[in-house]
Structures are given as C-alpha cells and as structure tokens.
Amino acid sequence: MKHSLWLVMSASLLVVVAGGAIIWSDASRAVAQTGASKTKTKIGTSKSKVSDSKELDTRAEKNLEAFVADTVKLAEEYEKAGKFEEAQDQLRNVGKLKPDLPGLKEKIDKLGEAVFETNDFDLDLDVSDSWKKMVLVSKGKPVRVEASGSYKITLAGPTDANGLPTKDPRTDMAAGVRCGALMGIVVATQDSGAGATTGAGAGKTTGRNNDKVGEPFEIGASKEFTPKEDGILLLNVNLPAGHKSTGKLRVHVSGHLMMLPKELR
C-alpha cells in the first residue's frame, strides 16, 4: 500500500515539473519574440531618420544655391545702376556663405576701384590761401587724393630757437608732416538743424558750433585714406602762418565723397 502511494506521488511530481518546463519554455519564446519585434521596430525608425536627414540636407543646399544665385544677380543689377557700394555689400553677403566662390574677392575689389574711377573731381589749390574746404567724406568710406604741380615757397615772419609752432593746426605748422607737403584734415560735423547738406550722409547738416577738428595728416603726391568721421575734408600745404608762397597744385580727389557747393568752399 505504501509502495503504491509512493508511485502515485512520484508520478504527480513528474507531471508538475514537466508542466513547469513547458510554461517556462513558452514564456521564454514569448519574451524572445517580443524583444525581436522591438529591435526590428527600432532599426526601422533609425533608417527613417537617416533618410529624413539627408532629404533636409539636400533641401538646405538647394535653398543656399538659390539664395547665392539671386544675390549675385542683385549685385549685377546694382552694378549696372552705378551703385557699386551696394553691389559690394551683396557680394560680401555671398562671401559669408560661400567664401571660396571663385572670383568673388576679385569682383569685390574691382567694384571698389570702380568707385574711384566714376566719382572723381579735379580742383586747383592756391598755396597762398589757408585751409581750403574741398569735399564731404563719410566715416569708414575710402577716399583718394592725388596732387601734381609745383610752387614757390617764400617764408616771412620772426621765429626763435624753439622753431616754428605746431600747437594749433588751424594757424601753425602741423607736427609730423614734412614742410611744404600737401596735407589734409577732416572736420567732423554733427546735426545742427541748419547749414549745408553733407555728402554721403544725406539729411545731415553742418554747424560750426558742433565741428570737431581732427589731426592733420600728410598726403603728399598721393594718398588713400579712410575717414574716422563724417565731415569735410580740408587741404593745405604745411607752411607757417604769414608765408608769401605763390603757385597752385592740381588736386584730384576720388572715391566715396561729394563736392561741397561753391558757396561753401
């Protein structure tokens, strides 16, 4: 009897173990399938993102090419209209996006030179006069001055062992400029509500109470410079007050400037 009971219990235990093994196996397969399913989904999503990214990059490149083409065309139209500075600005915008674009720098330089070739004036400078008002200039815009001719220097007036004074550029010789050399000075102007309209800065006016005198600089036979202020360019030869020199210099000015009206020269 005991032997039969033992056999029954052993058989029951085997059934339980076998059932557990089957359940464990099925669960493992289910987990494996779920994992595989998730992995496949992730792979598919990654490929989709890569594809979308490439498409966006392609669209961005096309947009850039279209912008560059339109900007270059706009620069050409500005050039035809004689607005060389505006044409340069458009090409500089292109340079920020396509700095290695062939011929870009050369074209910008050529447009810059065109300003000097198309906006220029010839003036006579009588050396017996004092500072002579010539043209209106703009801050940050290059100007070129060239001079030719000769004159006779005749000095008059007392001096002492200290030499000729250089304290006031309006009446004295200028320090750091060769004796007799052509020199310039920019008188910066501010809005005063009355006076002469300035050149490159349309709408501005000049007023003596607001004038700011800069430092004299040597020009000699030729000099290109960039003003630090909007204002009036004055020219003179570096000689002491009271000199009796005679003659004229022929002065050619060009670049970003505008002639002063005759009544203001």
Domains of the chain: 1-118 (no CATH), 120-264 (2.60.120.430)
Q: What is the average per-residue pLDDT within 91-115? A: 91
By CB atoms closer than 10 A (0-12, 13-18, 19+), residue 257 is: buried
- Mean pLDDT rounded to a whole number for the chain: 79
pLDDT, tens digit, 9 for 90 and up, residues 113-127: 999 999 999 999 999
Say which DSSP state 177 is in. S
Indicate whether 265 pLDDT > 60.
yes
Query: What is the model's pLDDT at position 156?
Result: 81
Spatial distance between the Cα atoms of 25 and 27, rounded to a whole number of angstroms? 5
Q: Quick one: angle between helices 2-80 and 84-97, nearest 10? A: 160
pLDDT, tens digit, 9 for 90 and up, residues 185-232: 999 986 433 333 333 333 333 344 445 678 899 999 999 999 999 999
Spatial distance between the Cα atoms of 133 and 44, rounded to a whole number of angstroms? 77
The two tokens of residue 257 are 């400037």
Indicate whether 38 pLDDT > 90.
no
The two tokens of residue 153 are 């220097």
Query: What is the model's pLDDT at position 33?
Result: 54
